[in-house]
């Protein structure tokens, strides 16, 4: 075990390998408030990467209805229960990570989903499960509540991946060029240790090739300077594919650095597990903070306050409006004269978006005749 710095925990922690932060780290920012669970991202991913035979159960990207939707079933509640109490003191995590809590003979504290756990994505949340009086929508049922939200999930391309830690063959690795976590398809021996270890359950087993596969961060697109399939297919424009610097090198001109490190609006998912996940979430503003703190750590209330104020925060508003405005990866951005602009690494403008779309008011007209025939009624925008 090596001591590594996990900034999301505000402390050092144990990890089987020494820290090797890539100079550039793939990241994705998700604005949970904008998602309608249309699954366009899921289909974009599935139809690009995982529609082969043997990949039937694989959803490298999925959207689940929280708190009771899962893929695979129970993925987060199971590991939270195994880990026991997780406590924070200020910004420092004082509980154990999945590495520190590993039982004797194991490298990571984990659990293996059964095959049926993969077979029913979001079971019970997207379809009726019985008559109305038996469902979750009836008041007085403990399950019933006045909030839910959608959680967008891909591989977190963690700084300290549990799949990497658990693989007995070192068949999983982080690409040095962008920190994307990949399964070496020639080295994998199908032991499925990664499926047990990854607390986010984002490595999957191919039934035909008998080796593990996972989200590849659409690296062939990244290499061309393009955002991922799930990002560009998102009709809610809630995703941003970007690169994240370590906190001490944060650059406020870079979109992910600004949202994660400078404004601390986008938060890691289950940071207490200790993997330093690199997908960040703008928390849903209408969900109880207590629940959100369990999922996104201690910065939730602050993030919600910032987000609620975004309409009066032109810099932040501008950046949020650049989400989904271009297929290209933004290197930097700025907001001037009511227009948000994104630039590539050479400083060339990629896209410009006005903070406020111009409004046109059409004069009301009442038609008395159309093509010589008398009519009554309103003239619509035809």
Partner 1 sequence: MSDAKITRKDALVYGGAAAGGLVVGGAAVAGLAAGVEARKLPQPLEGVEISAPIVDGDLPVEDPSADAWRQAQRVRVPLVPQQLVPPYLEQGHVDELLVRALHDGSDLALLLEWDDRDVDDLDGIRRYHDAVAVQLAATAGATLPPLTMGGPGAPVHILQWRATWQRDIDSGGKTGVEQIYPEVVHDVMPDDVLPPETAQLYWVGREAGNPLSLQNRVTPVEEIVAEGFGTVTHLTEQTARGHGNHEDGGWSVVVSFPLARAGAGSRMEPGSRWPAAFAVWLGSEENRGGRKHISDWQTIALEAQ
Give, in order, the Cα–Cα distances in Å from 199 to each of 78, 110, 141, 296.
9, 7, 30, 15
Residue whose C-alpha is closest to residue 265's, from 195, 224, 213, 316: 316
CB 4 within 8 A of CB 124: no
| 118/280 with CB nearer partner 1 | 118
Q: State the minimum distance, in angstroms, from the CB of residue 56 to partner 1.
A: 6
Q: With binding defined as CB under 8 A, does residue 2 bind partner 1?
A: no
Q: Which of 65, 192, 294, 325 binds partner 1 (CB under 8 A)?
A: 192
Q: With binding defined as CB under 8 A, does residue 374 bind partner 1?
A: no
Q: Which of 60, 118, 258, 333 binds partner 1 (CB under 8 A)?
A: 118
Q: State the minimum distance, in angstroms, from the CB of residue 20 to partner 1.
A: 19
Q: Which stretch binds partner 1 (CB under 8 A): 187-195, 284-292, 348-356, 361-369?
A: 187-195
Dig out the tokens for 201 from the structure: 């359950």
Q: According to CB under 8 A, which residues from 55 to 84 bind partner 1?
A: 55-57
Cα dihedral 135→140→143→148 (10° resolution): 90
| 141/185 with CB nearer partner 1 | 185
Burial class (CB in 10 A: 0-12, 13-18, 19+), 119: middle
Phi, psi angles (nearest 5°) of residue 369: -155, 150
Q: State the minimum distance, in angstroms, from the CB of residue 6 to partner 1.
A: 22
Q: With binding defined as CB under 8 A, does residue 54 bind partner 1?
A: yes
Q: With binding defined as CB under 8 A, does residue 105 bind partner 1?
A: yes
Q: With binding defined as CB under 8 A, does residue 92 bind partner 1?
A: no
End-to-end CA distance of the chain: 69
Rg (CA), the chain: 23
| 106/315 with CB nearer partner 1 | 106
Q: Which of 210, 286, 311, 379 binds partner 1 (CB under 8 A)?
A: 210
Measured in residues, the chain has a length of 382
The DSSP annotation for 325-365 comes to S-SBPPSEEEEETTEEEEE-TTS-EEEEEESS-----PPP-
Pairing of strands 267-268, 62-66: unpaired
| 40/55 with CB nearer partner 1 | 55
Q: State the minimum distance, in angstroms, from the CB of residue 209 to partner 1.
A: 3
Q: With binding defined as CB under 8 A, does residue 162 bind partner 1?
A: no
Q: With binding defined as CB under 8 A, does residue 169 bind partner 1?
A: yes
Tell me how crowded residue 358 is: count the other CB atoms within 10 A of its CB: 5
Number of residues that bind partner 1 (CB under 8 A): 37
Binding residues for partner 1 (CB under 8 A): 51-57, 104-107, 112-115, 118, 166, 168-170, 185-186, 188-193, 195, 205-211, 213
């Amino acid at each position: 075990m090596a001591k590594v710095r996990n900034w999301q925990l505000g402390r050092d922690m144990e990890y089987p390998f020494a820290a090797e932060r890539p100079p550039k780290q793939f990241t994705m920012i998700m604005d949970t408030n904008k998602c309608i669970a249309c699954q366009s991202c899921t289909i974009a991913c599935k139809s690009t990467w995982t529609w082969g035979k043997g990949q039937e159960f694989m959803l490298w990207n999925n959207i689940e209805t929280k708190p009771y939707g899962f893929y695979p079933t129970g993925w987060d509640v199971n590991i939270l229960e195994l880990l026991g109490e997780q406590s924070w003191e200020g910004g420092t995590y004082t509980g154990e990570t999945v590495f520190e809590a590993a039982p004797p003979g194991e490298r990571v504290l984990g659990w293996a989903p059964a095959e049926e756990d993969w077979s029913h994505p979001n079971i019970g949340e997207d379809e009726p499960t019985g008559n109305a009086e038996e469902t979750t929508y009836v008041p007085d049922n403990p399950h019933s509540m006045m909030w839910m939200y959608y959680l967008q999930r891909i591989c977190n391309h963690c700084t300290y991946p549990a799949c990497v830690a658990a693989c007995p063959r070192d068949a999983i690795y982080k690409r040095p060029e962008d920190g994307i976590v990949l399964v070496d398809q020639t080295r994998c021996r199908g032991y499925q240790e990664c499926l047990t270890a990854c607390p986010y359950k984002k490595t999957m087993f191919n039934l035909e090739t008998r080796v593990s596969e996972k989200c590849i961060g659409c690296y062939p697109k990244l290499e061309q300077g393009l955002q991922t399939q799930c990002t560009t297919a998102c009709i809610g424009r809630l995703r941003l594919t970007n690169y994240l610097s370590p906190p001490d090198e944060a650059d406020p001109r870079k979109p992910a650095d600004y949202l994660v490190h400078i404004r601390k609006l986008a938060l890691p998912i289950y940071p207490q597990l200790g993997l330093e996940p690199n997908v960040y979430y703008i928390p849903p503003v209408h969900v109880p903070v207590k629940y959100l703190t369990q999922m996104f750590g201690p910065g939730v209330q602050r993030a919600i306050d910032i987000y609620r104020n975004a309409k009066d925060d032109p810099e932040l508003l501008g950046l949020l409006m650049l989400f989904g405005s271009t297929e290209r990866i933004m290197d930097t951005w700025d907001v001037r004269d009511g227009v948000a602009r994104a630039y590539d690494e050479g400083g060339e403008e990629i896209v410009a978006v006005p903070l406020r779309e111009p409004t046109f008011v059409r004069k009301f007209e009442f038609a008395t005749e159309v093509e010589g025939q008398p009519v009554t009624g309103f003239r619509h925008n035809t």
